Structure 1
């Protein structure tokens, strides 16, 4: 797509093109939604093919460089900058790594609110560790 954009001065992004097409033909949101659903499979297939091609390229590079396990499985190198985000618990929160902690605080708040029945608050208080463990495992 980027090659088309560079070589063609009349390039219009697909989303903008779809919206203009629907508006010109007298359609509205429902028609755009149906139109978009119709091309979704094509977009999904194209995205899958790009991912498969990228995986094959990574595999070829790993094999070329000799990064292969003893059982023949190619290994791809992963690089990280090892940065550490700023974390301030409960205030000035800007680190995605603290989402589980923020989640627990949000669950703990209703247990202190007396507008909820005491039995419900106690049940929630007992279940918070299980919720946190489930989220940790899911991540």
Structure 2
């Protein structure tokens, strides 16, 4: 839960204290966070590899290849962010970027 929500040990300790539940030690948290983090990374890489293989297959089926026979796969990247104001200036900035990349070698 802490990895998915982006909180760390301190926030977990505060949360469990607020509902009167004992929290694990920082050492145990770090141990399991490392194990689970490695599993998440491995799973993500596996999924990205499978997605890449599927994109390659689809490009080949459609004949979407370059002059060297390399499959061409469209890639779209985007991102969003917000500057936090921490209850002081109330001037949070936000932004978004979206870009289509046509050639990656």
TM-score, with structure 1 as normaliser: 0.38
The structure with the greater share of residues assigned to strand is: 2
Bigger relative contact order, structure 1 or 2 (CA pairs below 8 A, ≥6 apart): 2
Which protein has the bigger helix share? Answer: 1
Rg (Cα) greater in structure: 1
